[in-house]
């Protein structure tokens, strides 16, 4: 089938490459000339495992092309996906200006029957708005159907998530369009990877409800973790104990420094705002947000108990992206923590396997923020190490080297990737989330450098 993928960001590029991989002809469109020029040369705008190979292979066999010419892409395609960004506006609602602009172009350039598929995360009712805009902007009448097909991929495992999805949701009030989209996805549909038909509005709600539920699980376990600290229980044991209950499940029960990224923070806020528009107060989601905001401060609170004055103290940071296997730093807890440390006059030595440059661009000319070329270089002169992202290379480091390099051996683990007993074995003071900290665990003994 001939497909236009409008918006070649994280979702558009991954979806476009995967749809080409399963046999379709895909034209990826973007406003950014720079992004498209780079993609035409094989340079990807994001880091995502396996994506480079998929893009290279499908570009070579001419199933995947890149353009800024939205008109040509619309005219040549039967199915038009809209995967543009829906960032928060100043009222925390989803900003639909890009979605509306795409709908306008489809109205202007449509020629013959088109299926318009919204992949972006959009508030309930957006499908009707898209249909209205297309109709109002038609220069010549043509038939079209509007479909909602929300995306559930996770950054870092996006290709597997697309190809081996838990489910594909197709929301449409028109059976003819639904059937064609089912055919489009048929190579990746089977009993274990089903496609579910529903109405347009339910599909739009499904995407927000899924993200809100996952964020709720994270805030729930963080709330329990904070309680565990007060009663000397261990959150990892508690998570295992409740997660084995099939009704609960172990996933998304990792206590830490809260959720970030391009989706959860904005989607939870947008759902709360959409609720208000429909006279519905989301009491639970307000609490989820509040817990998450407080959780981002947790590690800093622990750090300032050890170092009340941070001026001119060197703090190391391992991990900057909001989660491993991606370079995405949107709403990453690391950014908030770096800002607060700099405000307090600390000197930061940071390392991330992929995102150093991206974070550096957010803090131009900041003399107290140094980016190290490897994780150990980040430890020189350090009075505390904060682990903010659970990249694999941080899971089994050389603790003797850590102890040797640091001025004062304090590890603040915001992702609970180590066991508190390392404090004892390596004479390092270890602080994590929802477990006994070094000081309490070992009779208030603090190891020194």
Ligand X SMILES: NC(=O)c1ccc[n+]([C@@H]2O[C@H](COP(=O)([O-])OP(=O)(O)OC[C@H]3O[C@@H](n4cnc5c(N)ncnc54)[C@H](O)[C@@H]3O)[C@@H](O)[C@H]2O)c1
Cβ proximity to ligand X: between 40 and 400 the closer is 40
Nearest by Cα to 295 from 255, 264, 327, 324: 255
To ligand X, the closest distance from the beta carbon of 10 in angstroms equals 4
CB atoms within 10 A of CB 257: 27
Which residues are CB-neighbours of 23 under 8 A, at least 6 positions away?
A: 63, 187
Active site residue 263: yes
* Tokens standing for residue 189: 């549909």
Give the CA distances from residue 84 to residues 4, 81, 94, 348, in Å, rounded to whole numbers and listed in that order: 12, 9, 12, 35
Cβ proximity to ligand X: between 11 and 291 the closer is 11
In our burial notation (b when 16+ CB lie closer than 10 A, e otherwise), range 120-140 reads bbbbbebbebbbebbeeeeee
CB atoms within 10 A of CB 282: 17
To ligand X, the closest distance from the beta carbon of 72 in angstroms equals 13
Cβ proximity to ligand X: between 32 and 139 the closer is 32
Cβ proximity to ligand X: between 267 and 413 the closer is 267
Nearest by Cα to 325 from 165, 153, 168: 153
DSSP state for residue 224 in the 8-state scheme: H
To ligand X, the closest distance from the beta carbon of 99 in angstroms equals 8
Instruction: Note the residues at the interface with ligand X (CB under 6 A).
Output: 6-12, 29-32, 35, 83-86, 98, 101-102, 120-121, 151, 153, 155, 262-263
* Tokens standing for residue 43: 């340079």
To ligand X, the closest distance from the beta carbon of 132 in angstroms equals 18
Neighbouring C-alpha atoms within 13 Å toward the C-beta of 357? 4
- CA separation for the pair 266, 289 (Å, rounded): 10
Give the CA distances from residue 427 to residues 335, 385, 410, in Å, rounded to whole numbers and listed in that order: 30, 14, 10
Which of 28, 212, 228, 263 is an active site residue? Answer: 263
Residue nearest to ligand X (CB): 9
- Count helices and strands in the chain by DSSP H and E runs: 18, 14
Cβ proximity to ligand X: between 63 and 207 the closer is 207
To ligand X, the closest distance from the beta carbon of 225 in angstroms equals 25
- Return left, alpha or beta for 419; rule: phi > 0 is left, psi -120 to 50 is alpha, else beta: beta
To ligand X, the closest distance from the beta carbon of 329 in angstroms equals 12
Cβ proximity to ligand X: between 210 and 424 the closer is 210
Give the CA distances from residue 256 to residues 58, 222, 250, 328, in Å, rounded to whole numbers and listed in that order: 39, 7, 15, 18
Cβ proximity to ligand X: between 149 and 383 the closer is 149
* Tokens standing for residue 354: 């992929």
To ligand X, the closest distance from the beta carbon of 262 in angstroms equals 4
- CA separation for the pair 297, 284 (Å, rounded): 21
Task: Indicate which residues carry an active-site annotation.
Answer: 263
């Amino acid at each position: 089938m001939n497909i236009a993928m409008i918006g070649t960001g994280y979702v558009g590029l991954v979806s476009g490459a995967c749809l080409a991989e399963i046999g379709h002809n895909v034209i990826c469109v973007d406003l950014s000339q720079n992004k498209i020029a780079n993609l035409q040369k094989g340079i990807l705008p994001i880091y995502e495992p396996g994506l480079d190979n998929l893009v290279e292979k499908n570009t070579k066999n001419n199933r995947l092309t890149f353009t800024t010419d939205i008109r040509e892409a619309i005219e040549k395609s039967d199915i038009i996906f809209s995967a543009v960004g829906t960032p928060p506006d100043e009222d925390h609602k989803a900003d639909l200006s890009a979605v509306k602009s795409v709908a306008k172009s489809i109205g202007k350039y449509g020629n013959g029957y088109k299926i318009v598929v919204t992949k972006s995360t959009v508030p309930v009712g957006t499908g009707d708005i898209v249909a209205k805009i297309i109709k109002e902007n038609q220069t010549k009448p043509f038939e079209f159907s509007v479909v909602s097909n929300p995306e559930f991929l996770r950054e870092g495992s996006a290709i597997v998530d697309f190809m081996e999805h838990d489910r594909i949701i197709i929301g449409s009030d028109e059976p003819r369009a639904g059937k064609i989209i089912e055919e489009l996805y048929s190579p990746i549909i089977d009993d274990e990877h089903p496609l579910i038909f529903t109405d347009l509005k339910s599909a739009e709600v499904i995407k927000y409800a899924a993200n809100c539920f996952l964020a709720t699980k994270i805030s729930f376990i963080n709330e329990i973790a904070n309680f565990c600290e007060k009663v000397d229980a261990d959150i990892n044991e508690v998570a295992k104990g409740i997660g084995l209950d099939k009704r609960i499940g172990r996933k998304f029960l990792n206590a830490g420094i809260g959720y970030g990224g391009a989706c959860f923070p904005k989607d939870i806020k947008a759902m709360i705002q959409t609720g208000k528009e429909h006279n519905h107060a989301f009491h639970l989601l307000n609490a989820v947000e509040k817990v998450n905001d407080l959780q981002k401060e947790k590690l800093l609170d622990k750090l300032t108990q050890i170092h009340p004055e941070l001026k001119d103290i060197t703090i190391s940071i391992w991990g900057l992206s909001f989660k491993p296997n991606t370079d995405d730093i949107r709403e990453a807890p690391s950014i908030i923590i770096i800002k607060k440390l700099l405000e307090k006059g600390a000197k930061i030595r940071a390392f991330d396997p992929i995102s150093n440059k991206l974070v550096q661009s957010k803090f131009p000319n900041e003399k107290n923020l140094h980016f190290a070329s490897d994780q150990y270089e980040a430890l020189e002169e350090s009075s505390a190490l904060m682990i903010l992202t659970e990249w694999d290379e941080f899971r089994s480091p050389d603790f003797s080297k850590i102890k040797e390099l640091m001025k004062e051996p304090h590890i603040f683990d915001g992702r609970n990737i180590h066991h508190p007993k390392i404090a004892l074995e390596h004479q390092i003071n270890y602080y994590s989330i929802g477990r006994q900290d070094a000081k309490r665990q070992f009779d208030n003994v603090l190891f020194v450098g």
